[in-house]
């Protein structure tokens, strides 16, 4: 009898007044300050009090993504999409980004095609989704290329020669270079190194070759030609462009301007920036103005999302002229065109 009375009392226990609001506020504050574990704990507690709140659910997805819990982030995104929690197309973009991180390009393709076929996509999302669809198709093409395992060094040499120098399919070139990861790369330097200095070869293939040389600690001076410029580098001394001070300066400026007001735009600008550096590698931009590139990425990302920014406002935010921005934008677009691989 006493136990039953105790259970009834427990059933009547209610949360502290505005507990959920306090958890959300503290959780989002921790998220803003990049304290992702703390934010996840607080927002998960809030979720127990109210499932389906868009602030809570989206905050949890971002925390999981930043902590590398991609499968769980994917499932939470799926819940939001199925239950129509928050801005559907904003959540969809995050969901697709997670799929790309997981390498699930077939699912990216299927998802975006289904949405675009429905003809209900707001104009500001069409270009971005179309680009992600093209990316998934390109990656699926690369995955389809199979390199036959061969014990013969002579056969691999012949295969490299044919694909890199005589073939025109960039996807095949990327695949054959990636197939060397488990082999002794030094056996094939006579084929790979001259390729880097040829002005008519694709810059993305050159980047992947260089990454392979860096991975294998190749210690020799090598000439690289990209975008009508030449440079001599030692792979053993090269630094990942995403880790350079200049790269992080640009990202810090973008984060300050976009992270709070439009985190989706910030993520788009960040992705474009890292792709740009990937194609440009091993060339760097250390002597240039990071503010100029931040302004250019802001403008370019906004255009991809169908957003308009007043020229004067952009100049005031970054303290640069529109003429200078347009000049840098031309360079950005010139390099980015090489990401479209046939």
* Mean pLDDT to the nearest integer, 246-260: 91
pLDDT mean across residues, the chain = 83
pLDDT in tens, 9-36: 344 444 454 778 888 888 888 888 878 8
Q: How far apart are CA 285 and CA 296, in angstroms?
A: 14
Which pLDDT belongs to residue 7?
A: 44
Which among 236, 339, 225, 334 is positioned nearest to 283, based on CA atoms?
225
Q: How far apart are CA 63 and CA 39, in angstroms?
A: 7
What is the band of 99 on the pLDDT scale with cuts at 50, 70, 90? confident
Q: Which of 26-35, 105-114, 167-176, 189-198 has the highest mean pLDDT?
A: 189-198
Q: Is the pLDDT of residue 82 over 50?
A: yes
Q: How far apart are CA 339 and CA 332, in angstroms?
A: 12
Q: How far apart are CA 237 and CA 158, in angstroms?
A: 30
Which pLDDT belongs to residue 60?
A: 93
Q: Which of 179-188, 214-223, 315-324, 332-341 shows the lowest per-residue confidence on average (mean pLDDT)?
A: 332-341
Alpha helices by DSSP H, the chain: 2-11, 19-32, 36-49, 54-66, 70-82, 88-102, 105-117, 123-144, 153-161, 170-178, 189-196, 203-215, 245-258, 263-280, 290-304, 311-318, 322-336
CB 241 within 8 A of CB 284: yes
pTM of the model: 0.57
Tell me, what DSSP letter sits at residue 183?
S
Which structural domains are found in the chain, ordered by start? Answer: 16-143 (1.25.40.10), 153-238 (no CATH), 242-339 (1.10.472.10)
What is the band of 3 on the pLDDT scale with cuts at 50, 70, 90? very low
* The two structure tokens encoding residue 211: 């990454």
* Mean pLDDT to the nearest integer, 142-157: 58
Which among 7, 75, 64 is positioned nearest to 41, based on CA atoms?
64
Q: How far apart are CA 60 and CA 80, in angstroms?
A: 11
Q: Is the pLDDT of residue 152 over 70?
A: no
Q: Is the pLDDT of residue 144 over 60?
A: no
Q: Is the pLDDT of residue 156 over 60?
A: yes
Q: Give the residue carrying structure tokens 């992947």.
A: 208
Q: How far apart are CA 261 and CA 301, in angstroms?
A: 14
**DSSP per-residue codes, 130-175:** HHHHHHHHHHHHHHH--PPP-S-HHHHHHHHHIIIII---HHHHHH
């Amino acid at each position: 009898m006493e136990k039953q009375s105790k259970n009834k009392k427990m059933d009547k226990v209610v949360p502290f007044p505005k507990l959920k609001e306090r958890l959300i506020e503290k959780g989002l504050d921790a998220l803003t300050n990049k304290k992702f574990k703390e934010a996840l704990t607080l927002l998960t507690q809030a979720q127990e009090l109210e499932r389906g709140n868009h602030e809570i659910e989206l905050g949890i997805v971002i925390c999981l993504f930043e902590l590398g819990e991609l499968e769980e982030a994917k499932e939470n995104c799926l819940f939001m999409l199925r239950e129509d929690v928050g801005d559907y197309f904003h959540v969809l973009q995050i969901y697709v980004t997670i799929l790309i991180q997981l390498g699930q390009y077939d699912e990216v393709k299927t998802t975006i095609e289904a949405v675009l076929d429905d003809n209900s996509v707001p104009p500001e999302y069409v270009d971005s989704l179309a680009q992600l669809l093209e990316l998934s198709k390109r990656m699926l093409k690369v995955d389809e290329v199979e390199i036959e395992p061969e014990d013969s060094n002579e056969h691999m040499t012949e295969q490299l020669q044919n694909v890199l120098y005589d073939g025109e399919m960039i996807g095949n070139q990327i695949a054959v270079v990636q197939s060397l990861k488990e082999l002794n790369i030094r056996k094939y330097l006579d084929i790979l190194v001259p390729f880097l200095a040829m002005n008519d070869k694709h810059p993305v293939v050159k980047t992947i070759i260089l990454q392979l040389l860096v991975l294998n600690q190749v210690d020799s001076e090598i000439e690289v030609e990209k975008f009508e410029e030449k440079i001599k580098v030692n792979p053993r001394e090269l630094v990942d462009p995403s880790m350079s001070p200049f790269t992080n300066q640009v990202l810090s400026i973008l984060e300050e301007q976009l992270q709070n007001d439009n985190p989706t735009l910030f993520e788009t600008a960040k992705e474009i920036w890292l792709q740009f550096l990937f194609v440009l590698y091993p060339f760097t931009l250390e002597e240039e103005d990071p503010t100029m590139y931040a302004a250019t990425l802001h403008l370019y990302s906004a255009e991809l999302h169908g957003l308009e920014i007043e020229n004067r406002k952009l100049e005031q935010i970054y303290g640069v002229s529109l003429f200078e921005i347009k000049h840098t934008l031309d360079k950005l677009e010139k390099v980015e065109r090489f990401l479209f691989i046939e």
